[in-house]
Structure 1
């Protein structure tokens, strides 16, 4: 059994999946919940997974962050639209690992905790929350983990990775977290954006020649934006992400689900922050800018 104790902030499609896998592997895991607290407290968590369904009939569930016990690692799995809550949610001690999408999340956490406690992670996961305490894992699950303040692979990264690997999660340790962040954006920007704008799943975007080409063009622009900011992202990221999506189970992206269900969209973290970073480096990213402005319009004008 791992000596590390984990807190999960955000027990949804992301935090619920990884937290449940850690608990099933024998880790001590404490879950912060909001709407689902009463249900999960009474019934536990259910994970319907392509790798095999399982149920955790008893979990350590909490309604208030102040009630969480001290933990070695706090995993932030909230939507970035909830980052304004971080000052009241983050603990005074322990490591903080954000698995959120987009740019700027580690910096936002570091402003609360100090940079030395912050780790970053990228989840390559197709997973949906389909009911209170019920997670449906459709595909993938790989994690990439890295240090925020320094480059290189540290013992604390290795210890956390070992727990995830015991839980059956493939983990890559990243020498440079910024490269991993931008690599994930190569996927997130085209597919999250176009899924909302064009009302399409990933397989539909890949099947039509025009949208497949558009996805590839957006990806190449994201790679160029990363390089303009000094991040040495390889051009092979485009081919890798296209192949990854070709193999993917037909998927309604997390942003499309948020849009369909009337929740705030992660526009700033996934689109606004990369666009501003590129502009600050003197690089114009017209496709990214177009997606950003279209999503702002749709967010402002959708029925509430």
Structure 2
């Protein structure tokens, strides 16, 4: 299949969770001429329905992008979609998949771009691995106000692949689809390894930033917080290696170099805390606590942050709202 065939690939796309990541990627695909339906909720959805979606690029020559399209809160409206980007928070995975499944078109492909490494198992049980891909998005964006997404990263990068590592014509087409839309995308035969490396970045900075209210740069510049972040990463790597995950030897250098490039970034968990939304405590932080307990390992720093964040959510919601539940980072 030549490049012209890849670029001509047209597909009906559904964005399941039109927040910062889903809205941005969906907006880029819509601007490239694709039929995109955005599933959202609340004030953000209302603003998009009234005025469209405005994407502001803080570091790009392309200053703004106004997206006119279909914006809905009805899952049934996704019934004709051939490709779905699954970008809801991990706390919503089971509930959203339960709502979506009865309306999913036969043969539709789902790409999960969620934080963590445990959503894939839930989705694969519902969909089967043959129609599920996972992806890691490397970009920095946030909802500035209802209907407005601000992009802080200079480039938009995406890595996608099937869970079993297979290569296919569909994968080639999907990679071309994103590249044509201005999102630098490449395939991976080891997508879960990529997701693990992203999770190690997430657990290093997300919980700490949410607990302290600090940006990445502020964590790096504070000697005590900087060392705390390094302790978190060491504990997380210990768990990953005990689970037989292949972790690159220079992971600490890679994680902290990446942090230097995202100094002004507010992590997704900090954004959620500031906006009064449930934080992805379990998929980013609790996952390591629970796995360590089963493996007989100690993760005192991660456990402390986990307890603090659960207490914050308990105070806001009256219970551990996302405890036992099944963020692009940078998001």
Are 1:133 and 2:111 counterparts? Answer: no
2:215 touches 2:263 (CA, 8 Å); kept in 1?
no
Q: TM-score, normalised by structure 2?
A: 0.85
Counterparts of 1:54 and 1:199, CA distance in 2: 28
Quote the residue 1:25 is aligned against: 32
- Match for 1:122 among 136, 139, 147? 136
Structure 2: tracts of 5 or more residues without a match: 1-7, 319-331
Quote the residue 2:99 is aligned against: 88
Post-superposition shift, 1:184? Answer: 0.8
The farther-off stretch of 269-278 and 184-193 is 269-278
Quote the residue 2:56 is aligned against: 48
2:201 touches 2:255 (CA, 8 Å); kept in 1?
yes
Quote the residue 1:97 is aligned against: 111
- Match for 1:144 among 142, 146, 159? 159
Quote the residue 2:325 is aligned against: none
Quote the residue 1:248 is aligned against: 262
Post-superposition shift, 1:277? Answer: 3.2
Q: What are the residue-to-residue correspondences of 1:1-304 with 2, within 5 Å?
A: 1-35=8-42, 36-49=44-57, 50-51=59-60, 52-83=62-93, 84-90=95-101, 91-93=104-106, 94-139=108-153, 140-148=155-163, 150-302=164-316
1:238–1:109 CA distance, 2 compared to 1 (3 A):
same
Point out 4+ residue stretches in structure 1 off by more than 6 angstroms.
none
2:228 touches 2:301 (CA, 8 Å); kept in 1?
no
Structure 1: tracts of 5 or more residues without a match: none
Post-superposition shift, 1:66? Answer: 0.4
Post-superposition shift, 1:280? Answer: 3.5
1:239–1:275 CA distance, 2 compared to 1 (3 A):
same
Q: What's the Cα RMSD here?
A: 2.0
Post-superposition shift, 1:176? Answer: 1.6
Post-superposition shift, 1:107? Answer: 1.2
2:31 touches 2:67 (CA, 8 Å); kept in 1?
no
